Amino acid sequence: MSSNLFTSTLASSLRGWQGIAARTDAEQPEQLLQLYEFENCPHCRIVREVLTELDLDAQIFPCPKGGQRYREELMERGGKAQFPYLIDPNTGAEMYESMDILRYLYQQYGGGDVPLRWRVVPLQKLSSTLATVARITRGMYAVKSRPPKQPLELYSFEGSPFARPVREVLCQMEIPYILRSCGRSEPGEWLPPKLRERLGIQPGSQLHNRVALLEKEGKQGIPYLYDPNTGEGLFESEAIIAYLEKSYAA
Ligand SMILES: N[C@@H](CCC(=O)N[C@@H](CS)C(=O)NCC(=O)O)C(=O)O
């Protein structure tokens, strides 16, 4: 196992594997939520975990430290460079503060009740900070890149050790993308994909993005990146990262 995958697995473990299970009963907004964030920010991670749990898609505007593309935009809009910042065009709500965003998302799209585990805020923040430490500077600082014309699309769930390195590279390169939430809602999805294939198990997820991915590509591997600028669709984190570097590195 590479050190990248090892520390990514460690980060997911430190979070107690939150940001994997998804509910099937949450309401879907008509217009995409918008999130200004960066990948290795402990507060942003909490919001992304809730997006996975509520099966919500979002347009991500990556704001790594030293970034030029979206930090300025947020400064103008919200008045300060603090992350995360959520915009909900469906209701006109906009806000800083991860815990306010979390409560808002549960209220608006999750039936109102905030699960008990989110009441122990200091513990949640501590373990998210430890997960950040585990990734050191990955997904933290901007690198030079060429902006795509249209945002990319990433099928991902927050706790995936394989999807995280892809999100980190998108973040560092300040590449905007539509996060297509693809958590797990069926017991069979917790089996490793290769074992699943060998046993002939098709978990039969009802989550809209997993259904769409199966229809489009014939399988449900996560992460999956689609680039509307070139028409390319790729599975496998290493192949996706190589593609991003080839296509968008300055
Ligand atoms: N209480 C806030 C704290 C947010 C916060 O401190 N975010 C850090 C990133 S982890 C930040 O915005 N730092 C400024 C920067 O990165 O420029 C929350 O929970 O959202």
Q: Token pair for residue 123?
A: 């513990």
Give the torsion sign (CA, 170, 13, 85, 81). negative
Domain boundaries defined on the chain: 3-248
Residue 65 in contact with ligand 1 by CB distance below 6 A: yes
φ, ψ dihedrals at 158, nearest 5°: -55, -45
* CATH class of the domain whose range is 3-248: alpha beta
C-alpha 113 to ligand 1 mean position (Å): 25
CA–centroid distance, residue 77 to ligand 1 (Å): 16
| Helical pair 3-14 and 121-134, crossing angle rounded to 10 deg | 180
The protein residue with its alpha carbon nearest to ligand 1, atom 1, reads: 97
pLDDT band per the 50, 70, 90 thresholds, residue 95: very high
Question: What is the percent of the chain with per-residue pLDDT over 70, rounded to a whole number?
Answer: 100
Q: Number of helices (H) and strands (E), helices first, in the chain?
A: 9, 8
The pLDDT of residue 72: 95
Closest by Cα among 60, 156, 42 to 99? 42
List, for residues 190-235, the tens digit of each pLDDT value.
888 788 888 888 888 989 999 999 999 998 889 999 999 999 999 9
pLDDT of residue 64: 98
Distance of CA 24 to the CA centre of its chain: 18
Orientation of helix 3-14 relative to helix 163-172, angle to 10°: 100
Indicate the pLDDT class of residue 1, thresholds 50, 70 and 90.
confident
Regarding the beta carbon of 97 and ligand 1, being less than 6 Å apart is answered yes
Q: Model's pTM, two decimal places? A: 0.95
The residue whose C-alpha atom lies closest to atom 13 belonging to ligand 1 is: 82
